Chains A and B, each alone.
Chain A
Amino acid sequence: MKAEIRRVGADALAAKGRLGARKWLLARRASQLGILALFLLGPLAGIWIVKGNLAYSLTLDTLPLTDPYVLLQSLLAGHLPETLGIAGAAIVLLFYFLVGGRVYCAWVCPVNMVTDLAGWLRERLGIKGSAHIGRQARYWLLGMTLLLAAATGTIAWELINPVSMLHRGLIFGLGSAWAVVLAVFLFDLFVMRRGWCGHLCPVGAFYGLLGQWSPLRVSATRRAACNDCMDCFEVCPEPQVIRPALKGEANGIGPLIVSPSCTNCGRCIDVCAKDVFNFGLRFAGSGPTVPPVPADGQPLAGKG
């Protein structure tokens, strides 16, 4: 029953081994689960390192971290927050401004695990066909949520936001929030490939815009070695961001992936048998002299 078509990532698996071809994936899962575990230690084990949820948290009773997106909605609704809330938002803003906004999506957000599972299952089950919604939809949605906050004077988006519903639910009690999460899962599985995170989620759109000037970027540093296997395009949740960096040499485009949609997930680094990609810094000069960021230097601490 062996499939005729070569499986995506088979080359990388052969070249780098089981661990080597999943380095960033494992780091990402460790980050996502580790952050969730920190939040859960309090309610489950009574060890209160982190209190709250992704909207706002207080770590060790000193470090405030606020979701700037929800705070912005509150501001637009006409409410000026307390100092701690503003300080927390400033810290988070600075962090994602530096490491890339959508690091939140790939390394922190719990919904990512849900949609990744849907994406993986979609591929394993060979589900073809996908509804078409443009990737700009998320920016429309983002604008709508902000307008709605201003128009209604309430944070209306939080009534249905699957991201906060899942995270808050896991920590404070899920209730029927599972249905919303299941809806996202089924949507990604049957209706639209990478539908939620890649096309619709306004939270990701917000963080994308926030981190569009971030210095930490994925770079197709060794793009000359590319053998056109297309695996990176297959695994990338935002494949449109790769092309300019990977194939733009002839047009004088640098190897850095500069799109705000890139989530800095590192899937392309893992899947490339030729090690074309690595993490690089935007301002450290261009070309192959960019120093790779060590695995343990990754933003495991971000819990915006």
Chain B
Amino acid sequence: MACGVGMLGLGLGLYGKQAAALPALALRPPGAGAEADFLGACIRCGLCVRDCPFDTLRLALPETPVATGTPYFVAREVPCEMCDDIPCVKACPTGALDHGLTDINQARMGLAALLDHETCLNFLGLRCDVCYRVCPVIDKAITLEVLPNTRTGRHAMFLPTVHSEHCTGCGKCEKACVTEEAAIKVLPLAIAKGSLGRHYRLGWEEQKKAGGSLIDEKSMVDLPDRMPEGMRLPGHYDPASGMTAPPGDAAGAAGMPGTTAGPVPSLPPGLGDGK
């Protein structure tokens, strides 16, 4: 009997492991921790579902690929309206939804990612901007980055750009995306967010912290920028290759980010600032 129960336990444990893999389009309510912690904390009572005024949340059915009975929402169907008083978190009796979350802007239900550059209307050079405009954290979570439209040669492209520092993962952008299948999608953080690795240091950040360059700039040798053979980038400032044309000279490339020359030739753009 113990053996049978043990086998059942093993099977259930393995099944549980599988069930702990949250599918890409299911998002947890605000205040939910990492999936593994959440599954140990949520007792599946559904109080968050009951207290959600917008019927965003629902409990997973056995056939849903989300752990049975746990709350989730699908952004494309009903996104989170980001209530100021966060009733779903208040209703949670176990703290599976962290009661320490009192500012909904600090919620991290997921992270929006503009997945398909080929169908995003703004990437095609149109001014859709819908995801940017519906974003509850407009101009912080989603900004429009301006690039020249090289296809027409005379227009700009306003590229919706998500900033994980501010994105709550509410899903309003995905819900509002006008294309048949959303080009921008909100994914669980574990899927959407990359990680540099702890050993990485960003040279320009370290330089700012140190108040100056960390290496001896004078001994730096400026090597020619490596470009694919035969390629010329008009207006590209690279003294080592003999390209010293001041920005703005070359037609069509004026003002393009990355073409502004810094005062120190060896530094990438934005690094030198006057030194």
> Do the two chains belong together in a single complex?
yes
B214: which A residues are within 8 A, CB to CB? none
Q: Determine the distance from Cα of A85 to Cα of B19 in the docked complex, in whole angstroms.
A: 25
- Cβ–Cβ contact A159 & B93, under 8 A: no
Contact pick for B1, options A79, A137, A155, A168, CB 8 Å:
A137
Q: Chain B 43-69 against A: per-residue CB contact (8 Å), 1 yes, 0 no? A: 111110111000000110111100111
Chain B CB within 8 A of A90 CB: no
- Closest-by-CB residue of A relative to B94 is A81
Residue among B6, B15, B40, B92 with most chain A CB within 10 A:
B40
CB–CB B94/A164 < 8 A? no
Q: Are the C-beta atoms of A79 and B96 separated by less than 8 Å? A: yes
Interface assignment of A71: CB less than 8 Å from any CB of chain B:
yes
Q: Does B246 contact A (CB under 8 A)?
A: no
Interface flags for A116-138 (1: CB within 8 Å of B; 0: not) read 00000000000000000110110
Q: Does B147 contact A (CB under 8 A)?
A: no
With beta carbons under 8 angstroms apart, the residue of B15, B20, B46, B96 that contacts A171 is B46
Interface residues of B in 4-35 (CB under 8 A from A): 4-6, 8-9, 12-13, 15-17, 19-20
Within 8 A of B (CB), among A130-161: 133-134, 136-137, 140-141, 143-145, 147-149, 151-160
The reply to whether A67 and B59 contact each other, CB–CB distance below 8 Å, is no
Residues of A within 8 A of B92 (CB): 82
**A160–B59 touching, CB < 8 Å:** no
When distances are taken between beta carbons in the complex, the residues of chain B under 8 Å from A160 are: 12, 15, 68
Residues of A within 8 A of B104 (CB): none
Q: Is A212 an interface position by the 8 A CB rule? A: no
Q: A133-B1, A136-B1, A144-B8 are in contact. Are A154 and B45 (CB under 8 A)?
A: no
Bound-complex Cα distance A140 to B1 (A)? 8
1/0 per position for A52-80, CB-CB distance to B under 8 A? 11011110000010110011001001111
Chain B residues with CB under 8 A of A51? 47, 50-51
Docked CA distance A85–B99 (Å): 13
Q: Which of B57-87 contact A (CB under 8 A)?
A: 58-59, 61-64, 67-69
Q: Assess the B61–A147 pair: CB atoms within 8 A.
A: no
Contact (A82, B93) CB under 8 Å given A55-B45, A168-B59, A177-B61: yes
Q: Is A20 an interface residue (CB 8 A)?
A: no
The residue of chain B having its C-beta at the shortest distance from the C-beta of A138 within the complex is B5
The residue in B20, B43, B46, B58 that gathers the most chain A C-beta atoms within 10 A of its C-beta is B43
A165 contacts chain B at the CB level, 8 A cutoff: yes
**Cβ contacts under 8 Å, A176 to chain B:** 61-63
Chain B contacts for A70, CB-based, 8 A: 43-44
Does B202 touch A at the CB level, under 8 Å? no
Bound Cα distance A57, B49 (Å):
12
Q: Mark B161-191, 1 if CB is under 8 A from A, else 0.
A: 0000000000000000000000000000000
Contact A155 B95 (CB under 8 A): no
Contact in complex: A140, B2 (CB < 8 Å): yes
A82-B94 in contact given A53-B45, A55-B44, A137-B5 (Cβ < 8 Å): yes
- B37 CB within 8 Å of chain A: yes
A48: B residues at CB distance < 8 A: 50
Decide if A156 touches B95 in the complex (CB within 8 Å).
Answer: no
Q: Beyond A53-B46, A159-B15, A165-B68, is A74–B40 a contact (Cβ under 8 Å)?
A: yes
A77, closest chain B residue (CB): B40
The chain A residue with its CB closest to the CB of B15 is A159
Instruction: Kindly state the separation between the CA atoms of A141 and B6 in the bound complex, as whole angstroms.
Output: 9
Contact A74 B94 (CB under 8 A): yes
Give chain B residues whose Cβ lies under 8 Å from the Cβ of A180: 62
Tell me how far the C-beta of B81 lies from the nearest C-beta in chain A, rounded to whole angstroms. 20
* Residue A84 is within 8 A (CB to CB) of chain B in the complex: yes
B45 contacts across to A, CB distance below 8 A: 52-53, 55-57
Given A42-B50, A159-B19, CB of A148 within 8 Å of CB of B9: yes
Across the interface, B16 reaches (CB within 8 A) one of A66, A156, A175, namely A156
Across the interface, do B13 and A152 meet the contact criterion of CB distance under 8 Å? yes
A 76-100 contacts with B by CB, 8 A? 77-82, 84-85, 88
Question: For B42, what are the chain A residues with a Cβ–Cβ distance below 8 Å?
Answer: 155
Partner of B39, one of A66, A151, A155, A175: A155
Which residue on A lies nearest to B51, using beta carbons?
A: A51
14 contacts between A and B (CB under 8 A): A42-B50, A55-B69, A66-B93, A71-B94, A74-B41, A82-B99, A136-B1, A147-B9, A148-B9, A152-B16, A153-B40, A159-B16, A165-B68, A174-B61
Interface residues of A (CB under 8 A from B): 42, 48, 51-53, 55-58, 64, 66-67, 70-71, 74, 77-82, 84-85, 88, 133-134, 136-137, 140-141, 143-145, 147-149, 151-160, 164-165, 168-169, 171-177, 179-180
The 4 A-B residue pairs with the shortest CB-CB distance, nearest first, are A175-B61, A77-B40, A56-B45, A85-B93
Residues in chain B within 8 A of chain A (CB atoms) = 1-2, 4-6, 8-9, 12-13, 15-17, 19-20, 36-37, 39-47, 49-51, 58-59, 61-64, 67-69, 91-96, 99
